[in-house]
A = this chain, B = another copy of it.
Amino acid sequence: MTASTKPSHHHGNLRSALIEAGVQLLREGGLEALTLRKAAGVAGVSHAAPAHHFASLTNLRSAIAAAGFEIFDASMKCEIKKVSPSNPSEVVRAACRGYILFAIENPALFSLMFGGTELIREEPPLGASSGHAYETLTNICLPFSTDAKSLEKMRMLVWSLVHGFTSLMLAQQKNFPLVDDAIQQFEEMLPDFSKFQSME
């Protein structure tokens, strides 16, 4: 193990390098640019090297989606931190901003995560990572619910609204509206959740 990075036969941490390469390929060339061979190329290994870490392309996709869910969760949490936690409606709006921002900044990754591509949910990281985002979405709904059933309804309402809006925005035009315009349009559409309790 010399100090200089000699062309060692062993990569060292190929698994995470492939995930990172995959994220980059998605960003640069969209869904179809993510191939095992290209990811191997970016990571600087031979075309068959990924097989030792990912049994198939579906496995690599699943791992990348898992990484995406972590970034996704972080994006929501980042926006949530910017607002006062004492205003639950503002917290929901902030989380949705993080949701939309993530999708605009990582459209192909968002499509991979939610777009119908076959993924392996049993692969532990994917289940765990999407669970984190699920938790965040649940937490922001807690102030609006009195029991498990109303929590479930609120979470589904918020999640459906922001996810539907985001998906349709991405599907409709590839030249997105400016980020701020998208978020403004979403917030204008958003109903006043604080009045929902009395609507039953």
Residues of A within 8 A of B (CB): 30-32, 107-108, 110-118, 153, 156-157, 159-165, 167-168, 170-171, 185, 188-189, 191-192, 195-196, 199
Q: What distance in Å separates the Cβ of A59 from its nearest Cβ neighbour in chain B?
A: 15
7 interchain residue pairs of minimum CB distance:
A111-B116, A164-B164, A115-B115, A160-B164, A163-B164, A160-B165, A115-B116
Whether the Cβ atoms of B199 and A191 lie closer than 8 Å is: yes
Known: A112-B116, A160-B189. 10 other contacts (CB 8 A): A107-B116, A111-B115, A113-B171, A114-B167, A114-B171, A115-B117, A156-B185, A162-B164, A163-B168, A167-B167
Q: Is the CB of B189 within 8 A of A195?
A: no
Question: Chain B residues near A189 (CB, 8 Å)?
Answer: 153, 156-157, 160
Which residues of the partner chain B approach A117 to less than 8 Å between Cβ atoms? 31, 111, 115
Specify how many copies of this chain sit in the oligomer: 2
**Knowing A159-B164, A162-B164, A165-B156 touch, does A116 contact B171 (C-beta < 8 A)?**
yes
The complex places the Cα of A196 from the Cα of B193 at a distance, in Å, of 11
**Distance in Å: Cβ of A120 to nearest Cβ of chain B:** 11
Are the C-beta atoms of B118 and A110 separated by less than 8 Å? no
| Cα–Cα distance between A156 and B168 once the two chains are bound (Å) | 9
How far apart sit A117 and B170, CA to CA, in the bound complex (Å)? 11
| Nearest residue, chain B, Cβ from A167 | B167
Q: Name the residue on B nearest A173 (C-beta).
A: B121
